[in-house]
Each structure stands twice: as C-alpha cells, then as structure tokens.
C-alpha cells in the first residue's frame, strides 16, 4: 500500500445510485437478499476508482434493518455472502486490495443510549463468525461509545486479524477544539481506549468533514503522549448535521452540494496534513470522490 491508504466510499448510496433494489427498512441489505450482483458491482467500481480497502456490505445485517425474525433466520448466511463477494472482487483486483469486515453498532447507529451489552454481543458474534474466513482486518464502524469498541474487541478475540476502531463524532453543533464521540466521551478517551484494546488503527467516520480535523489533531497528540503507533484514518459523510436523537439510515438524508469530489478532496488533504494516513468516504461519497483522492494523495 501507499503511505496514504485509500478506502472505498459509501456502499448504500452507491447501490441506490446504480439501480440496485433499495428501500426501507432493509437499506443496503436488500441488494444482498435480492440482487447480490449489484454489491459486487459497487465493490468493483470502488476498486476501479483506486480503493485499496473495500468493506463488506454487512453494516445493515442487524435487526433494525432485517427485523428480528429474518435476522435470526438469515443474518449468518447474508454476512457470509457479503464477505465472499468482497473477497472475490479484492482477489481479482489489478493491485493489492484488502477486505475490511464491517462491524456496525448493532443496537443502533448514532444512538449510544440504545446500547445494551447483553443484546449486542450475540448479534456481533453472528457477523464475526460469518465474516472471519474472508476479511483481512476487522473494521468497527460508526461506533458512538467506547463501550461499543470494547465489546467489538472482546467478540473478535485474538484471531490475528488487525482491528480498526472507527468512531462517529458529535456534529450537531459548531466545531469544537474538544471533539467528542456521540456519547459525549472525548476523542482523547476514545483514542486511549483504542490503544488499550490493541487496535492497529483509530478512525473517525460518518460525521461531517468539519469536525474531523480537530479529532485528528487530538488523536495525534494523544498517541504521541501515550507512545503508541496506531494509524489514524478519516472517512466522512456528505450529510447535513445529524440530531442527537437521529438513527442512521432511518431516512434518506440529503447530500450536501458543496461536497463534490473537488470539495471533499480539500478536506481530505487537510486531514492528511494533520496526520491521517487512511482516507476514504462514508455515506454519499462515491467512486468519483475516491478517484479524486487516489489521483491527488498518491
């Protein structure tokens, strides 16, 4: 890989964009259920744009999207399929591509208040067991609280695969010099937790670009003080600010017009200058954005 690793972008919005089956409540899981060839196409489109890491389409394989009955019946098979599809595209790529096993906040995105350890653990175990044969690293995504990261570390265990912990940040107010997770915990505390949990990388995702730079600064300072060598990554979304009581993927959010490929690149270049070495996109960031990142950051 290059000094700056290029991630893929947002799978759900890209599925909708290319005409895949896409509706509530299944969201990005619907393509796995009805037309998995679209999932392969999205992975291939991001690789063609230059992504060196693609994430499995497993984020929506939770009861919130599938319903409790279908989740109990089908989640393991769908997660296996998501891992296999990503692995096939990565193995066929013209340059080395890693597969990140997407592990979501299974009790609800953006809602640390809904997290329940006893309920979350078996849901995560289904995903980990199904994805393990296919992934190069684990990618805990959109984690709102340190407790979610701690559970993820417990469930993946010590299987030799690196763990990436990616937090989502509070972004419903003015950017602050003291960035916080959506739980209210500080980014410093989140980074120290990632160090304690043996993560290989700490990232920030699914928040507005405006709050990411301060988080990178805090992460750099915290890691330096701790004498730790984790990589830092950012993959922002293209959404307006999200309310504290919002739920990810509950509604189809608007996409900001100012975050076209050139506009998003400007933010990404700033993150790299501050110390990020993993950069990609989340919801609303497509292959054209990733191509712009690849062109400029390589």
Mean pLDDT of 122-150: 98
Arithmetic mean of pLDDT, 110-115: 97
Q: Average of pLDDT values for 32-38?
A: 98
Q: Over the chain, what is the mean pLDDT?
A: 95
Q: What is the pLDDT of residues 137-191, one digit of tens each?
A: 999 999 999 999 999 999 999 999 999 999 999 998 877 779 999 999 999 999 9
Domain, as residue range, for 285: 5-297
Assess whether pLDDT exceeds 60 at residue 287.
yes
Whether the CA torsion 137, 143, 146, 152 is positive or negative: it is negative
- Structure confidence at residue 256 as a pLDDT band (50, 70, 90): confident
For tokens 């304690």, name the residue: 196
For position 233, which CATH number holds? 3.20.20.330
Residue 145's φ and ψ, nearest 5 degrees, are: -145, 155
The C-alpha atoms of residue 296 and residue 282 are separated, in whole angstroms, by 19
Cα–Cα distance for residue pair 65/274, rounded to 1 Å? 36
Structure tokens given for 191 = 């980074």
Q: What is the pLDDT of residues 204-255, one digit of tens each?
A: 999 999 999 999 999 999 999 999 999 999 999 997 765 555 555 555 667 7
Mean pLDDT of the 13-18 span: 96
Instruction: Give the total number of structural domains in the chain.
Output: 1
pLDDT score recorded for residue 177? 78
Is the per-residue pLDDT at 92 higher than 60? yes
| pLDDT computed for residue 253 by the predictor | 64
């Amino acid at each position: 890989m290059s000094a700056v690793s290029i991630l893929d972008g947002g799978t759900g919005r890209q599925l909708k964009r290319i005409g895949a089956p896409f509706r509530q409540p299944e969201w990005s899981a619907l393509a796995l259920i009805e037309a998995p060839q679209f999932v392969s196409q999205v992975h291939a489109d991001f690789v063609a744009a230059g992504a060196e890491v693609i994430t499995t389409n497993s984020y929506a394989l939770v009861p919130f999207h599938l319903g409790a009955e279908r989740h109990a019946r089908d989640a393991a098979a769908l997660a296996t399929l998501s891992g296999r599809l990503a692995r096939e595209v990565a193995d066929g790529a013209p340059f080395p591509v890693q597969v990140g096993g997407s592990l979501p906040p299974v009790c609800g995105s953006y809602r640390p208040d809904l997290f329940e350890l006893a309920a979350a653990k078996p849901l995560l175990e289904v995903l980990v067991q199904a994805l393990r044969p296919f992934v190069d690293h684990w990618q805990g995504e959109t984690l709102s609280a340190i407790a979610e990261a701690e559970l993820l570390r417990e469930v993946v265990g010590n299987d030799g695969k690196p763990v990436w912990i990616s937090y989502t940040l509070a972004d419903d107010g003015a950017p602050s010099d003291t960035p916080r997770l959506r739980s209210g915990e500080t980014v410093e505390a989140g980074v120290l937790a990632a160090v304690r949990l043996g993560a290989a990388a700490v990232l920030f995702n699914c928040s507005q670009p405006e709050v990411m730079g301060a988080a990178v600064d805090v992460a750099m300072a915290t890691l330096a003080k701790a004498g730790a060598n984790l990589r830092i990554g950012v993959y922002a979304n293209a959404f307006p600010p999200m309310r504290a009581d919002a739920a990810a993927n509950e509604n189809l959010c608007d996409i900001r017009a100012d975050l076209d490929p050139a506009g998003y690149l400007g933010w990404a270049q700033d993150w790299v200058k501050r110390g990020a070495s993993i950069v990609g996109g989340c919801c609303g960031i497509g292959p054209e954005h990733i191509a712009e990142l690849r062109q400029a950051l390589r």
